[in-house]
Amino acid sequence: MAEAVLRARLAEAGLGAHVLVDSAGTGGWHAGDPADPRATAALVAAGYDARPADHTARQFEAEWFPRYDLVVALDRGHARALRRLAPGPEQAAKVRLLRAGDLDVPDPYYGEDEGFADCLALIEESVPDLLDTIRRRRPGAGEAP
């Protein structure tokens, strides 16, 4: 869900062609699976382009760190796992939480459908700060192409 929201906000800001957005899990439990239908339903209900065929779950790999300026985790457990996976301190420093104040985005997977809408609301609330971080880290990213 965070990937879809960030892509939409980057496009609105005229930055979609300048920022690579991707997503992966910290574990391989769902590798190869499509997006959870409840997540897709929440995104579609909120007006996002979320086609399940466009997403296949996979696990983040240490060798991916060099290709990303930021690695965004949705909770502190994932952030710790990513930092441990990082090949060195420079890569570990790329990991940040989506929510400011060291707050988690709760995983709605084992709950009811409404949990996905609640999760989406937290993501939408948090993405503007992430956009500010992207603009600060990428020279010229504050301007539309």
Does residue 73 sit within a domain?
yes
Question: What's the structural domain count of the chain?
Answer: 1
Rounded Cα gap, residues 100 and 94, in angstroms:
15
**pLDDT digits 0-9 by tens, 34-56:** 888 999 999 999 999 876 556 78
Does residue 144 sit within a domain?
no
Does residue 16 sit within a domain?
yes
3-state SS of the chain? Answer: CHHHHHHHHHHHCCCCCCCCCCCCECCCCCCCCECCHHHHHHHHHCCCCCCHHHCECCECCHHHHHHCCCEEECCHHHHHHHHHHCCCHHHHCCEEECEHHHECCCCCCCCCCHHHHHHHHHHHHHHHHHHHHHHHHCCCCCCCC
Q: How far is CA 81 from CA 11, 28, 67, 77, 84, in A?
A: 30, 13, 18, 6, 5
Does residue 85 sit within a domain?
yes
CATH of the domain at 41: 3.40.50.2300
Q: Which domain holds residue 25?
A: 2-137
pTM for the full predicted model: 0.89
> Cα dihedral angle (123, 126, 127, 133), rounded to 10 degrees?
-150
Does residue 77 sit within a domain?
yes
Q: Which two tokens stand for residue 36?
A: 């959870």
Does residue 142 sit within a domain?
no
Q: What is the pLDDT along the chain (145 residues), one digit of tens a residue?
A: 999 999 999 999 999 999 999 999 998 787 878 888 999 999 999 999 876 556 788 999 999 999 999 999 999 999 999 999 999 999 999 999 999 999 999 999 999 999 999 999 999 999 999 999 999 887 555 444 3
